[in-house]
Structure 1
């Protein structure tokens, strides 16, 4: 897990504070839930990437829907599958308790490892966590631009003798509103129940 912790310092200080508040709120602190923690944050911008079916996917394709967004990669040995599993398990709980609202939440996964994460690999990865999770990726430079627009970063680690490598990246699970506005960081570190509780606060 060291690669995510080492890069956490790259996250803008205000976003780190908001992330902390989001997590504390889910744990039952006295933080006022009246305003989304990320309200007004400069996170998000239009993009075009290649989806897991090979078709172009645009941020605007999901206008009118809430969006869960995670940057990671399918070959990640620990952090990505853990975060995505908890986020999607939390979404499933929310869907069970609030079917109509749950249907308005579109989960998205952006791979920062285009060398290995082909559409086929992405489909297998996303299908293992949630039937509606959509995977996408793109050229490295395009991905860096998108990552920057969404307040995150990534880099390729040292290639090992056998050709394997890790991708250093931040592991935040964002929740956006129907107009693409940032709302909160989902507390995947606290488990699916906390994720479902956070969704229940902001998906209305």
Structure 2
């Protein structure tokens, strides 16, 4: 009798485990099928992609106040940096520009943008000179301290100016991700510094085509 109970328990446990496995599988499959960009994603965002991005108001290179809807009218590679940055920002923005050129060769029009995290020094004129050296279509955005803070919060960007007194040569610590934003979908992906231009172009192309 004990053996019969043991066998019955084993069968029951096996059935429960199988049921749980099927439920997990179905849940994963359903979640993936609900995400039109599932085949493109290579990163995970805590809280989901909707936790990053949102409205902002900044100033463009001509001194005009613009909103996110004015700027993001096409697939956009959004980067937060500053023009006095000695190494990281030039390398990252050049990488982004190279990815944009690769995408253009493949028939995709993607806008490279840099938002300054150093509004004290990065005037519209300074931003214009910087972006012109990187790519003819790169857009530079700056703004007031409050506008910069709001944009950084929207994209979960950390930055801190290491400024003491009137030192004009201070550096700014900041996160260095590039964000892919689509007009009708908002933020969809981020790229780390290790991402190559080719990898960025390929993943961006996947998102653009999946979102069209």
State whether TM-score is above 0.5. yes
For 1:66, the equivalent position in structure 2 comes to: 75
**Residue 94 in structure 1 maps to residue 99 in structure 2:** no
Higher Cα radius of gyration:
2
What is the distance in 2 between the residues matched to 1:64 and 1:90? 18
What is the distance in 1 between the residues matched to 2:62 and 2:185? 23
> 2:203 aligned to 181, 198, 202, which one?
198
The CA deviation at 1:180 is 4.7
For 1:147, the equivalent position in structure 2 comes to: 152
Change (3 A) 1:111 1:180: farther
TM-score, with structure 2 as normaliser: 0.72
The CA deviation at 1:165 is 0.3
For 1:135, the equivalent position in structure 2 comes to: 140
Q: Which moved more, 1:53-62 or 1:71-80?
A: 53-62
The CA deviation at 1:117 is 0.9
What is the distance in 2 between the residues matched to 1:50 and 1:64? 16
For 1:173, the equivalent position in structure 2 comes to: 178
For structure 2, list consecutive stretches of 5 or more residues without a partner in the other structure: 1-36
Q: Deviations over 1:24-54 (max 9, x none)?
A: xxxxxxxx95154456331111111111111
For 1:182, the equivalent position in structure 2 comes to: 187
**Residue 40 in structure 1 maps to residue 49 in structure 2:** yes
What RMSD in Å do the two structures reach over aligned CA positions?
2.1
The CA deviation at 1:136 is 0.8
What is the distance in 2 between the residues matched to 1:120 and 1:202? 33
For 1:110, the equivalent position in structure 2 comes to: 115
The CA deviation at 1:184 is 1.1
Q: Deviations over 1:112-151 (max 9, x none)?
A: 1111111111011111111111101111122112101111
What is the distance in 1 between the residues matched to 2:165 and 2:196? 33
For structure 1, list consecutive stretches of 5 or more residues without a partner in the other structure: 1-31
With a CA cutoff of 8 Å and minimum separation of 6, indicate the structure with the bigger relative contact order. Answer: 1
**Residue 157 in structure 1 maps to residue 162 in structure 2:** yes
Q: Deviations over 1:60-89 (max 9, x none)?
A: 114542111000000000000111111111
What is the distance in 2 between the residues matched to 1:140 and 1:180? 27
* CA contact 1:69–1:175 (8 Å) conserved in 2: yes
